[in-house]
Structure 1
Amino acid sequence: MVMDDIVSITLFRHGITKENLEKRYIGWTDVSIDMNSLNEVRIPTLERSFQKVFSSDLKRCVETACLLVPGSTIIKDSRLRELHFGEWERKTYNDLKDQKEYQQWLRAPFLLTTPKGEAYTQLETRVLEFWKELITVFENEETKNVLLITHGGPIRFLLTYFSPKESKKDWWEWSIEHFCGYTLSWNRKNLLKGGSSCTSSLVEPFMVKRTGL
Protein backbone atom coordinates (compact mmCIF):
# COMPACT_ATOMS: atom_id res chain seq x y z
CA MET A 1 0.00 0.00 0.00
CA VAL A 2 1.56 3.30 -1.10
CA MET A 3 2.01 6.04 1.47
CA ASP A 4 0.05 8.66 -0.49
CA ASP A 5 -2.88 6.33 -1.19
CA ILE A 6 -5.77 8.79 -0.73
CA VAL A 7 -9.36 7.60 -0.38
CA SER A 8 -12.54 9.66 -0.16
CA ILE A 9 -16.00 9.44 1.35
CA THR A 10 -18.64 11.79 -0.06
CA LEU A 11 -21.61 12.71 2.16
CA PHE A 12 -24.65 13.81 0.16
CA ARG A 13 -28.01 15.04 1.42
CA HIS A 14 -31.18 13.78 -0.26
CA GLY A 15 -33.34 15.86 -2.57
CA ILE A 16 -36.00 18.09 -1.06
CA THR A 17 -39.45 16.75 -0.18
CA LYS A 18 -42.85 18.41 0.00
CA GLU A 19 -42.65 18.05 3.79
CA ASN A 20 -39.23 19.77 3.83
CA LEU A 21 -40.76 22.68 1.91
CA GLU A 22 -43.51 22.83 4.52
CA LYS A 23 -40.82 22.79 7.27
CA ARG A 24 -42.14 19.63 8.91
CA TYR A 25 -40.10 17.29 11.10
CA ILE A 26 -39.76 14.10 9.05
CA GLY A 27 -36.99 12.13 10.70
CA TRP A 28 -38.20 8.56 10.10
CA THR A 29 -41.31 9.50 8.12
CA ASP A 30 -40.84 7.73 4.77
CA VAL A 31 -41.70 10.25 2.07
CA SER A 32 -40.50 10.71 -1.50
CA ILE A 33 -38.60 13.64 -2.93
CA ASP A 34 -40.74 16.38 -4.46
CA MET A 35 -40.76 15.70 -8.20
CA ASN A 36 -41.76 19.30 -8.95
CA SER A 37 -38.51 20.49 -7.36
CA LEU A 38 -36.54 18.47 -9.91
CA ASN A 39 -37.73 20.91 -12.56
CA GLU A 40 -35.70 23.61 -10.78
CA VAL A 41 -32.39 21.76 -10.54
CA ARG A 42 -29.90 20.07 -12.81
CA ILE A 43 -29.14 16.56 -11.61
CA PRO A 44 -25.34 16.57 -11.32
CA THR A 45 -22.92 14.25 -12.99
CA LEU A 46 -20.57 13.53 -10.11
CA GLU A 47 -16.92 13.90 -11.09
CA ARG A 48 -15.79 10.88 -9.11
CA SER A 49 -16.58 7.28 -9.90
CA PHE A 50 -17.79 5.46 -6.79
CA GLN A 51 -16.94 1.86 -6.08
CA LYS A 52 -19.57 1.66 -3.33
CA VAL A 53 -22.82 3.56 -2.81
CA PHE A 54 -24.57 3.50 0.58
CA SER A 55 -27.92 5.08 1.39
CA SER A 56 -30.34 5.54 4.23
CA ASP A 57 -33.15 3.06 3.64
CA LEU A 58 -35.76 5.84 3.48
CA LYS A 59 -37.28 6.61 0.07
CA ARG A 60 -36.03 10.17 -0.24
CA CYS A 61 -32.42 8.99 0.00
CA VAL A 62 -32.79 5.90 -2.20
CA GLU A 63 -34.53 8.00 -4.88
CA THR A 64 -31.72 10.56 -4.72
CA ALA A 65 -29.12 7.82 -5.08
CA CYS A 66 -30.90 6.51 -8.18
CA LEU A 67 -30.79 10.01 -9.70
CA LEU A 68 -27.13 10.67 -8.83
CA VAL A 69 -25.63 7.31 -9.77
CA PRO A 70 -28.15 5.53 -12.01
CA GLY A 71 -27.46 1.86 -12.49
CA SER A 72 -25.30 1.55 -9.38
CA THR A 73 -25.91 -1.04 -6.67
CA ILE A 74 -27.27 0.85 -3.67
CA ILE A 75 -26.58 -0.62 -0.23
CA LYS A 76 -29.40 0.51 2.08
CA ASP A 77 -28.82 0.87 5.81
CA SER A 78 -31.29 2.12 8.43
CA ARG A 79 -28.44 3.39 10.61
CA LEU A 80 -28.07 6.30 8.17
CA ARG A 81 -31.56 7.61 8.98
CA GLU A 82 -32.28 11.08 10.32
CA LEU A 83 -33.06 11.59 14.02
CA HIS A 84 -36.42 10.06 14.94
CA PHE A 85 -38.70 12.86 16.20
CA GLY A 86 -41.31 10.55 17.74
CA GLU A 87 -44.68 12.21 18.32
CA TRP A 88 -43.45 15.34 16.56
CA GLU A 89 -43.02 13.64 13.19
CA ARG A 90 -44.80 15.58 10.43
CA LYS A 91 -45.40 18.51 12.80
CA THR A 92 -44.22 22.08 12.16
CA TYR A 93 -42.89 24.73 14.52
CA ASN A 94 -46.30 26.41 14.50
CA ASP A 95 -47.94 23.11 15.47
CA LEU A 96 -45.63 22.71 18.46
CA LYS A 97 -44.60 26.19 19.57
CA ASP A 98 -47.07 26.41 22.45
CA GLN A 99 -45.90 23.16 24.04
CA LYS A 100 -43.56 23.67 27.00
CA GLU A 101 -41.78 20.38 26.26
CA TYR A 102 -41.03 21.52 22.73
CA GLN A 103 -39.64 24.87 23.85
CA GLN A 104 -37.39 23.07 26.35
CA TRP A 105 -36.15 20.72 23.61
CA LEU A 106 -35.36 23.66 21.31
CA ARG A 107 -33.10 25.07 24.02
CA ALA A 108 -31.25 21.77 24.56
CA PRO A 109 -31.82 19.41 21.60
CA PHE A 110 -28.63 17.44 22.27
CA LEU A 111 -29.61 16.74 25.87
CA LEU A 112 -33.38 16.18 25.72
CA THR A 113 -35.36 13.57 23.79
CA THR A 114 -38.54 14.16 21.83
CA PRO A 115 -41.67 12.30 23.08
CA LYS A 116 -41.35 8.64 21.99
CA GLY A 117 -38.45 9.74 19.79
CA GLU A 118 -34.71 9.22 19.67
CA ALA A 119 -31.98 10.87 21.72
CA TYR A 120 -29.17 12.58 19.85
CA THR A 121 -26.71 10.17 21.48
CA GLN A 122 -28.61 7.30 19.84
CA LEU A 123 -28.08 8.89 16.43
CA GLU A 124 -24.37 9.25 17.20
CA THR A 125 -24.08 5.63 18.29
CA ARG A 126 -25.77 4.10 15.26
CA VAL A 127 -23.98 6.32 12.74
CA LEU A 128 -20.57 5.53 14.26
CA GLU A 129 -21.46 1.83 14.32
CA PHE A 130 -22.20 2.05 10.59
CA TRP A 131 -18.97 4.02 10.01
CA LYS A 132 -16.79 1.37 11.65
CA GLU A 133 -18.17 -1.19 9.23
CA LEU A 134 -17.99 1.22 6.30
CA ILE A 135 -14.26 1.85 6.47
CA THR A 136 -13.52 -1.86 6.10
CA VAL A 137 -14.48 -1.57 2.40
CA PHE A 138 -11.20 0.30 1.93
CA GLU A 139 -9.29 -2.87 2.77
CA ASN A 140 -9.81 -3.58 -0.92
CA GLU A 141 -7.19 -1.40 -2.61
CA GLU A 142 -9.41 -0.98 -5.68
CA THR A 143 -11.91 0.97 -3.54
CA LYS A 144 -11.00 4.65 -3.59
CA ASN A 145 -14.29 6.55 -3.47
CA VAL A 146 -17.47 5.82 -1.53
CA LEU A 147 -20.77 7.73 -1.65
CA LEU A 148 -23.20 8.06 1.28
CA ILE A 149 -26.69 9.41 0.62
CA THR A 150 -28.20 10.42 3.94
CA HIS A 151 -29.87 13.23 5.91
CA GLY A 152 -28.88 16.56 7.43
CA GLY A 153 -28.44 15.23 10.98
CA PRO A 154 -26.01 12.39 10.21
CA ILE A 155 -24.03 14.62 7.81
CA ARG A 156 -23.66 17.39 10.40
CA PHE A 157 -22.54 14.84 12.97
CA LEU A 158 -19.95 13.26 10.64
CA LEU A 159 -18.58 16.62 9.51
CA THR A 160 -18.32 17.83 13.11
CA TYR A 161 -16.63 14.60 14.14
CA PHE A 162 -14.23 14.01 11.23
CA SER A 163 -13.41 17.33 9.56
CA PRO A 164 -9.78 18.54 9.92
CA LYS A 165 -8.87 21.07 12.59
CA GLU A 166 -8.52 23.97 10.16
CA SER A 167 -12.15 23.62 9.03
CA LYS A 168 -13.79 22.57 12.32
CA LYS A 169 -17.27 23.95 12.94
CA ASP A 170 -20.03 23.39 15.46
CA TRP A 171 -23.08 21.32 14.49
CA TRP A 172 -25.30 24.24 13.42
CA GLU A 173 -22.51 26.06 11.56
CA TRP A 174 -22.49 23.49 8.77
CA SER A 175 -24.63 24.44 5.77
CA ILE A 176 -26.29 21.21 4.62
CA GLU A 177 -28.60 22.04 1.74
CA HIS A 178 -30.67 19.47 -0.10
CA PHE A 179 -28.87 17.99 -3.12
CA CYS A 180 -25.61 19.15 -1.54
CA GLY A 181 -22.56 17.17 -0.51
CA TYR A 182 -19.14 17.25 1.10
CA THR A 183 -16.15 15.07 0.30
CA LEU A 184 -13.75 14.00 3.05
CA SER A 185 -10.39 12.43 2.22
CA TRP A 186 -7.96 10.26 4.20
CA ASN A 187 -4.75 8.40 3.74
CA ARG A 188 -6.08 4.85 3.37
CA LYS A 189 -3.78 3.42 6.04
CA ASN A 190 -4.77 6.08 8.59
CA LEU A 191 -8.48 5.62 7.90
CA LEU A 192 -8.26 1.86 8.39
CA LYS A 193 -6.49 2.50 11.69
CA GLY A 194 -9.47 4.57 12.78
CA GLY A 195 -8.04 8.04 12.21
CA SER A 196 -10.59 10.52 13.54
CA SER A 197 -9.69 13.49 11.32
CA CYS A 198 -9.58 13.48 7.55
CA THR A 199 -6.52 14.80 5.76
CA SER A 200 -8.35 17.33 3.59
CA SER A 201 -6.98 20.83 4.09
CA LEU A 202 -10.44 22.13 3.28
CA VAL A 203 -13.83 20.44 3.16
CA GLU A 204 -15.57 21.95 0.16
CA PRO A 205 -19.28 21.67 -0.56
CA PHE A 206 -20.69 20.93 -3.98
CA MET A 207 -24.33 21.12 -4.94
CA VAL A 208 -26.78 20.98 -7.78
CA LYS A 209 -26.99 24.33 -9.58
CA ARG A 210 -30.44 25.69 -10.06
CA THR A 211 -31.57 26.23 -13.61
CA GLY A 212 -30.44 29.58 -14.96
CA LEU A 213 -27.77 30.16 -12.30
Structure 2
Amino acid sequence: MPTTLIYETHATTLDNEQGIATGWLPGELSAAGRQEAVELGMRRQGVDVVFSSDLRRAVQTVELAGLEAPHFVDWRLRECNYGELNGRPRPELEPRRDRVDTPFPGGQSYREVVESTRSFLTDIRRLYDGAQVLLVAHSANRWALQHLLAEESLEELVAAPFDWQPGWIYGV
Protein backbone atom coordinates (compact mmCIF):
# COMPACT_ATOMS: atom_id res chain seq x y z
CA MET A 1 0.00 0.00 0.00
CA PRO A 2 1.55 3.33 -0.98
CA THR A 3 2.17 6.13 1.45
CA THR A 4 -0.22 9.05 1.13
CA LEU A 5 1.36 12.46 1.64
CA ILE A 6 -1.07 15.28 2.37
CA TYR A 7 0.56 18.68 2.01
CA GLU A 8 -0.95 21.80 3.60
CA THR A 9 0.53 25.26 3.78
CA HIS A 10 0.88 26.85 7.19
CA ALA A 11 -2.03 29.12 8.04
CA THR A 12 -2.06 32.84 7.20
CA THR A 13 0.44 34.99 9.08
CA LEU A 14 0.59 38.66 9.94
CA ASP A 15 3.42 38.90 7.38
CA ASN A 16 1.25 37.28 4.68
CA GLU A 17 -1.44 39.87 5.31
CA GLN A 18 1.13 42.69 5.05
CA GLY A 19 2.89 41.38 1.91
CA ILE A 20 6.11 40.47 3.74
CA ALA A 21 8.36 37.57 2.65
CA THR A 22 9.06 35.92 6.02
CA GLY A 23 11.61 33.37 4.79
CA TRP A 24 13.50 31.85 7.71
CA LEU A 25 12.03 34.24 10.27
CA PRO A 26 9.55 32.59 12.66
CA GLY A 27 6.36 34.41 11.68
CA GLU A 28 3.15 34.61 13.72
CA LEU A 29 -0.35 33.52 12.72
CA SER A 30 -2.96 36.23 12.29
CA ALA A 31 -6.49 35.94 13.68
CA ALA A 32 -7.62 34.57 10.31
CA GLY A 33 -4.68 32.15 10.35
CA ARG A 34 -5.61 30.82 13.78
CA GLN A 35 -9.10 30.03 12.47
CA GLU A 36 -7.63 28.41 9.34
CA ALA A 37 -5.47 26.17 11.57
CA VAL A 38 -8.55 24.95 13.42
CA GLU A 39 -10.23 24.24 10.06
CA LEU A 40 -7.15 22.33 8.90
CA GLY A 41 -7.48 20.15 12.01
CA MET A 42 -11.11 19.38 11.22
CA ARG A 43 -10.15 18.50 7.62
CA ARG A 44 -7.26 16.21 8.54
CA GLN A 45 -8.48 14.09 11.45
CA GLY A 46 -7.36 10.50 11.03
CA VAL A 47 -3.86 11.06 9.65
CA ASP A 48 -1.23 8.73 11.09
CA VAL A 49 1.57 11.24 11.61
CA VAL A 50 2.19 14.96 11.15
CA PHE A 51 5.44 16.63 10.09
CA SER A 52 6.00 20.35 9.94
CA SER A 53 8.70 22.86 9.32
CA ASP A 54 10.45 23.97 12.51
CA LEU A 55 9.56 27.60 11.78
CA ARG A 56 7.07 28.97 14.32
CA ARG A 57 4.22 29.64 11.87
CA ALA A 58 4.11 26.00 10.75
CA VAL A 59 4.43 24.62 14.29
CA GLN A 60 1.71 26.99 15.51
CA THR A 61 -0.57 25.85 12.68
CA VAL A 62 -0.22 22.21 13.77
CA GLU A 63 -0.63 23.05 17.46
CA LEU A 64 -3.88 24.92 16.82
CA ALA A 65 -5.14 22.16 14.49
CA GLY A 66 -5.50 19.91 17.52
CA LEU A 67 -4.72 16.68 15.72
CA GLU A 68 -4.23 13.51 17.76
CA ALA A 69 -1.48 12.11 15.54
CA PRO A 70 2.15 12.46 16.65
CA HIS A 71 3.75 15.72 15.45
CA PHE A 72 7.41 15.94 14.46
CA VAL A 73 9.26 19.07 13.35
CA ASP A 74 11.89 18.84 10.63
CA TRP A 75 14.27 21.61 9.55
CA ARG A 76 14.32 20.19 6.01
CA LEU A 77 10.78 21.53 5.57
CA ARG A 78 11.72 25.19 6.03
CA GLU A 79 10.75 27.91 3.59
CA CYS A 80 13.47 29.10 1.23
CA ASN A 81 16.06 31.19 3.08
CA TYR A 82 15.89 34.61 1.46
CA GLY A 83 19.03 35.63 3.34
CA GLU A 84 19.31 39.41 3.44
CA LEU A 85 15.73 39.61 2.11
CA ASN A 86 14.07 37.64 4.95
CA GLY A 87 11.33 39.89 6.31
CA ARG A 88 11.36 42.28 3.34
CA PRO A 89 8.35 43.26 1.20
CA ARG A 90 7.50 40.48 -1.23
CA PRO A 91 8.02 42.60 -4.40
CA GLU A 92 11.72 42.91 -3.49
CA LEU A 93 12.09 39.16 -4.10
CA GLU A 94 10.78 39.28 -7.66
CA PRO A 95 11.49 37.82 -10.11
CA ARG A 96 11.89 34.44 -8.42
CA ARG A 97 12.77 32.47 -11.54
CA ASP A 98 16.39 33.66 -11.37
CA ARG A 99 16.68 32.16 -7.85
CA VAL A 100 16.05 28.57 -8.93
CA ASP A 101 19.79 27.85 -9.04
CA THR A 102 21.26 31.13 -7.77
CA PRO A 103 20.93 31.63 -4.00
CA PHE A 104 19.36 34.76 -2.57
CA PRO A 105 22.13 37.01 -1.15
CA GLY A 106 23.20 35.34 2.10
CA GLY A 107 20.51 32.68 1.63
CA GLN A 108 19.73 29.69 -0.55
CA SER A 109 18.29 28.79 -3.94
CA TYR A 110 15.00 27.04 -4.62
CA ARG A 111 16.97 24.05 -5.90
CA GLU A 112 18.45 23.71 -2.40
CA VAL A 113 14.90 23.55 -0.99
CA VAL A 114 14.16 20.78 -3.50
CA GLU A 115 17.16 18.80 -2.25
CA SER A 116 16.10 19.16 1.40
CA THR A 117 12.58 18.07 0.47
CA ARG A 118 13.98 15.12 -1.51
CA SER A 119 15.90 13.99 1.59
CA PHE A 120 12.71 14.26 3.68
CA LEU A 121 10.73 12.20 1.13
CA THR A 122 13.38 9.47 1.17
CA ASP A 123 12.89 9.09 4.92
CA ILE A 124 9.08 9.15 4.65
CA ARG A 125 9.11 6.38 2.04
CA ARG A 126 11.38 4.27 4.23
CA LEU A 127 9.76 4.87 7.63
CA TYR A 128 6.05 5.39 6.89
CA ASP A 129 5.15 2.87 4.21
CA GLY A 130 1.37 2.77 3.80
CA ALA A 131 0.71 5.62 6.25
CA GLN A 132 -1.24 8.83 5.82
CA VAL A 133 1.35 11.55 6.43
CA LEU A 134 0.35 15.19 6.87
CA LEU A 135 3.01 17.73 6.00
CA VAL A 136 2.58 21.39 7.04
CA ALA A 137 5.15 23.64 5.42
CA HIS A 138 5.69 26.56 3.04
CA SER A 139 5.25 27.56 -0.60
CA ALA A 140 8.79 26.56 -1.59
CA ASN A 141 8.12 23.05 -0.27
CA ARG A 142 4.94 22.84 -2.32
CA TRP A 143 6.92 23.72 -5.44
CA ALA A 144 9.52 21.12 -4.47
CA LEU A 145 6.83 18.44 -4.09
CA GLN A 146 5.25 19.33 -7.44
CA HIS A 147 8.68 19.19 -9.06
CA LEU A 148 9.71 15.90 -7.44
CA LEU A 149 6.40 14.01 -7.46
CA ALA A 150 4.53 15.49 -10.42
CA GLU A 151 7.63 16.22 -12.53
CA GLU A 152 6.67 19.87 -13.13
CA SER A 153 9.29 22.42 -14.11
CA LEU A 154 10.71 24.15 -11.05
CA GLU A 155 11.32 27.29 -13.10
CA GLU A 156 7.65 27.45 -14.10
CA LEU A 157 6.41 26.69 -10.58
CA VAL A 158 8.35 29.48 -8.88
CA ALA A 159 7.37 31.99 -11.57
CA ALA A 160 3.64 31.25 -11.28
CA PRO A 161 1.37 32.72 -8.60
CA PHE A 162 0.83 30.50 -5.56
CA ASP A 163 -2.82 29.46 -5.58
CA TRP A 164 -3.91 28.28 -2.13
CA GLN A 165 -6.25 25.35 -1.77
CA PRO A 166 -7.16 23.14 1.20
CA GLY A 167 -4.32 20.68 0.69
CA TRP A 168 -2.68 18.63 -2.02
CA ILE A 169 -2.47 14.84 -1.97
CA TYR A 170 0.44 12.82 -3.32
CA GLY A 171 1.30 9.14 -3.48
CA VAL A 172 4.90 8.58 -2.48
> Is TM more than 0.5 here?
yes
The 8 Å contact of residues 110 and 140 in structure 2, kept in 1 or not, is answered as no
Seen in structure 2, the aligned counterparts of structure 1 residues 30 and 9 have a Cα distance that, compared at 3 Å, is: same
Deviations 1:94-129 (A, max 9, x none): 6x4xxxxx66x6451213221111122221211111
* 1:87 and 2:74 aligned: no
Consecutive unaligned residues in structure 1, runs of 5 or more = 97-101, 186-190, 192-213
State which structure, 1 or 2, has the greater radius of gyration over its C-alpha atoms: 1
The 8 Å contact of residues 156 and 176 in structure 1, kept in 2 or not, is answered as no
How far is 1:60 from its partner?
0.8
Identical-residue share of aligned pairs (%):
20
How far is 1:138 from its partner?
2.8
Q: CA RMSD in A?
A: 2.7
1:184: which partner in 2? 170
1:133 is paired with a residue whose SS is helix
2:11 is aligned, of 11, 15, 25, to: 15
Consecutive unaligned residues in structure 2, runs of 5 or more = none
Seen in structure 2, the aligned counterparts of structure 1 residues 176 and 132 have a Cα distance that, compared at 3 Å, is: farther
The letter for the 1-side match of 2:49 is K
Distance 2:37 2:70 in 1: 24
* 1:112 and 2:102 aligned: yes
The letter for the 1-side match of 2:59 is V
1:111 is paired with a residue whose SS is coil
1:87 is paired with a residue whose SS is helix
Seen in structure 2, the aligned counterparts of structure 1 residues 162 and 91 have a Cα distance that, compared at 3 Å, is: same
The letter for the 2-side match of 1:146 is V
TM, length-normalised to structure 1? 0.68
Distance 2:7 2:90 in 1: 27
Deviations 1:51-70 (A, max 9, x none): 11111011111111123343
Distance 1:40 1:144 in 2: 24
* 1:27 and 2:14 aligned: no
TM, length-normalised to structure 2? 0.82
Distance 2:52 2:101 in 1: 27
**Count of residues in correspondence between the two structures:** 168
The letter for the 1-side match of 2:122 is K
* 1:155 and 2:142 aligned: yes
How far is 1:176 from its partner?
4.2
Q: Which has the higher helix share?
A: 2
> Pairwise mapping of residues 44-83 of structure 1 onto structure 2 (< 5 A)?
44=40, 45-46=42-43, 49-83=46-80
